[in-house]
A and B are shown apart, each in its own frame.
Chain A
Amino acid sequence: MNAILDRLAEVAADPDRYVVEWKRTHPDRKVAGVLPMNFPEELLHAAGFLPVVIQENNEPDTEGRVILAEFYCGYTRNLADQAAKGRLKIYDAFFLADHCVQLLGAADVMRFKQPHTPIFFGQFIASMSEPSTPARVRGELDHIVAEVERSTGVPLDHGRLAESIRLYNRDRALLRAVFDARREGRVHLSSKAMQNLVKSSMVMDKAEHIALLEQLLSDGIESHDPHARVRLHLSGHFCHAPKQALLELFEDCGAEIVDDDLYHGRRYITTDVREDLEPVAALSQWYFDRNVNVPCPTRVQHNADWDTYLTKAVSESGADGVVILMAKFCEPHMLLYPELRKALEAREIPYLLVETEHAGLPMETLRTRVEALVERISRRAAVAAS
């Protein structure tokens, strides 16, 4: 089991190395860099690309620092830095569907720094409740298909697309099995290992990832006694993975993470693409289904909201508290935060807001705050028990 987890951790730690190696072994194939969070990778897979969700890297931002202002989220500034340093040259094309103003700012930097690499924005309208949205999203998907066909020079094979959808669904189902087992207390994997499972899935060839997951599940995931004093739900953190040092800190302070709605977590894997629909229509439907399953504040939908989802998820997992991980300067998250706060307070669920940045997290201050949360929850449990 460790060998598999180690392999997934290795890919998660250095996605660029995986991409370069994949290109070496697949000289006739292209790699597409995908920007988060809603682009349907299945389409690119079916056309023969290796779709890779571009990850924040661990290098300090230097050249890119001056391109986007300091009040951008860590992910977008780091993307700008990667573009400025030429790190994104390993990709043959870029695709995105999300209209986040900061993400588009970073995408403009990518086009400015790498003008010969096509960067296609097939905008998925964010207002989900309007009657005109489904047709428009479907129209954008048709444009994306046309762009993919232009890029590969061959028409998209819809049979292959159906196969890619099945493959991606399989990967998601396997990941969900692990996440569900964690929520139900049947496995106790560190939150770092859980993140590696998802992050590697965003990078690796799906068939290879599935094979590793199947092996992992058939070997059985060793369960250790967590010795945790409290059980926490991690919430938020769009587009990029929270730093692993931060995840370790939660566990060091006596918490076990039992569930999450992170993009590098449940948010990425919750929704399957329907296999009973025509495949492009199914991808369009997937976009709408996802926002019902785990609502996202980057979308606007009157009858689905994240705060309701969050409190329900907490009661399902039995988590004692919530850590809201917010990428500093992430506007949709800042806008929704008061509603999350209201919902948690109304149900007396203890919570802690932690803002993250690409570099320079004040770990010692954070440790004190996390310890205080753990203490607060433990004391409450003790009072309730007495």
Chain B
Amino acid sequence: MTTQTGSTVTRMQTTRAGGQMIADYWDNIFTARERGKHVVWYNGSALNPIFQAAGLEWCHGEAFSARLAAQHLEGPAQLAGAEYGYINELCSYSRTHLGCAVLSNGGGPAPGSETGVVDALDQQELASKLPKPDFFVNAYSGCSTGQQWDEMTYRVFGRSIPIFNVSIPFLWGNRPDSTYMAGQEWDEATDYVVGQLRELVTFIEAQTGRPFDWDALSESMSYIRRASELRLEGMALCERKPTPATYWDWVASIAHINFLPGDQALVDYFASVRDEIQARVDAGVPALENERYRLYFDGIMNWNKLGWLAKRFAEYDAAVIAGRYTHSSFWQEPQLIDPEDPLRGMAQHYLLCPINHSLKTLNYLTLRDCERFEIDGLVFHSTRTCRAFTNPQTMLASTAREHLGIPAMFFEGDVADASFYKDDILESRLVAMLESIDVRRAKAGV
């Protein structure tokens, strides 16, 4: 019988400190208006290097929803969204962000009104702190909801704020030559997105009244490329047994790679992450005291349950090592980035979003990472309001079982709505999966 030995996760110092960089970033956003900056709201792909080069302040909608959820402050925004009419089965990122839009635009419950959320009005103040945008840019890969969501934000603001959409074609794989990062479909999609990025730059120039600084874009992309290489070096160190860092550490660094400015500070951050992992390897310090199982995590993050999840898995000596959200996204193919001519590599990363592939490629990526990290089992976060991430999960589980003989477990949760959790189910399914790993090992005489 699988027992709890109560391993604890040794959290990385660097990622702990990295939290401050994110807090500073948001504080900076909140004061953008006072500093006379243009503010862009955007969703989906990491367009921030373009915004950085254009001298804008950028606010990623999903990231703000994630931050509110991680701090358990999502209630008032979701309440404002519900009052406006959004049904609770709708993507909770979008509901939260649209709720923020309602609040930023002066809507939402009036002071003194009964909201049912403890400290609602203080929290509401935070949700409404987002400065109103000067314009919107949407570049959502994979999920149709992403583009529709920003169109609704545009409408919440009374269609008075300009919006630009970059459409990222879904990599369906119509042709036999369509494989990961190859084939005619990939080339054509790349050209199409590059063309739209050029049009986006023209749009931004019109909004700001300034010529775009292409040198600044090259510079920031060279920092991002280096930061990404360092991040991948750190990830490679986790192939070791026991792993020196876990998936949860990589989750803690998502915001940095996803939307912090491309600059020396970003490179320094990922150099420290890599160095700390290397130091652990050198000193023989594992991430978990007693790693007995190595797991892969598939699904979008469940921001309001992160710490709880990390603890839960550790209690059973299960090291979650890699995942689709961390390892198949966020400038994960730095060799594609040519700082001298950055748009192509940027477009390609937008296409490589892990929800922008059909099953064929996702099977490839999942099997690749399971083999690489010697994974014993897969954990699927069946995300109630995010169909994009949930789409292929049962089929990925059968492919992994068929090709690698490894078991999987599913648990229901959500990106930003804690009400969709069923904690006891997670626990019982985890135990069942770990037991099946034990049985498999016993049979193999391991």
Contact = CB atoms under 8 A, between A and B. Distances in A.
Contact of A71 (B192, B199, B384, B388): B384
A132 B139 CA distance: 14
A105 B358 CA distance: 8
Interface in B318-362: 355, 358-359
B163 A302 contact: yes
Contacts of A67: 394-395
Given A108-B358, A336-B152, A66 B394 contact: yes
A121 B167 contact: no
A101 B391 contact: yes
Contact of A132 (B89, B90, B147, B195): B195
B26 interface: no
Contacts of A122: 174
A69 to B, nearest CB: 5
Q: How large is the interface on B (under 10, 10 to 19, 20 to 34, 35 or more residues)?
A: 35 or more
B416 to A, nearest CB: 15
Contact of A123 (B147, B151, B159, B172): B172
Given A67-B394, A126-B147, A341-B85, A101 B387 contact: yes
Contacts of A108: 358-359, 391-392, 395
B43 to A, nearest CB: 12
Nearest to A129: B165
Contact of B165 (A69, A143, A300, A329): A300
B192 A136 contact: yes
Contact of B196 (A132, A139, A332): A132
Contacts of B155: 305, 339
A331 interface: yes
A190 to B, nearest CB: 30
Interface string A314-335: 0000000000000011011011
Interface in B72-102: 84-87, 89-91, 94
A334 B90 contact: yes
Contacts of B104: none
Contact of A337 (B87, B192, B359): B87
Contacts of B359: 108, 111-112
A169 interface: no
A332 B167 contact: no
Interface in A102-127: 102, 104-105, 108-109, 111-112, 120-123, 125-127
Q: Which of A125, A305, A328 has the most CB of B within 10 A?
A: A125
Contacts of A127: 147, 165, 167
B142 interface: yes
Nearest to B81: A338
A133 interface: yes
Interface string A182-199: 000000000000000000
Interface string B127-168: 000000000000000111101110110110001000111010
A104 B358 CA distance: 8
Contacts of A297: 148
Contacts of A121: 170, 172, 174
B44 interface: no
Interface residues of A, number: 49
B258 interface: no
Given A111-B359, A132-B196, A136-B192, A331 B147 contact: no
B174 A147 contact: yes
B86 A123 contact: no
B169 interface: yes
Contacts of A112: 359, 395
A298 B358 CA distance: 20
Contacts of B188: 139
B385 interface: yes
Given A101-B144, A131-B199, A297-B148, A331 B90 contact: yes
B390 interface: yes
B90 to A, nearest CB: 4
15 contacts: A71-B385, A109-B395, A112-B359, A126-B167, A130-B165, A132-B196, A300-B147, A329-B89, A331-B387, A332-B148, A335-B148, A335-B151, A338-B86, A339-B155, A342-B85
Interface of B: 84-87, 89-91, 94, 142-145, 147-149, 151-152, 154-155, 159, 163-165, 167, 169-170, 172, 174, 188, 192, 195-196, 199, 355, 358-359, 382, 384-385, 387-388, 390-395
Interface of A: 66-69, 71-72, 99-102, 104-105, 108-109, 111-112, 120-123, 125-127, 129-133, 136, 139, 143, 147, 297-298, 300, 302, 305, 328-329, 331-332, 334-339, 341-342
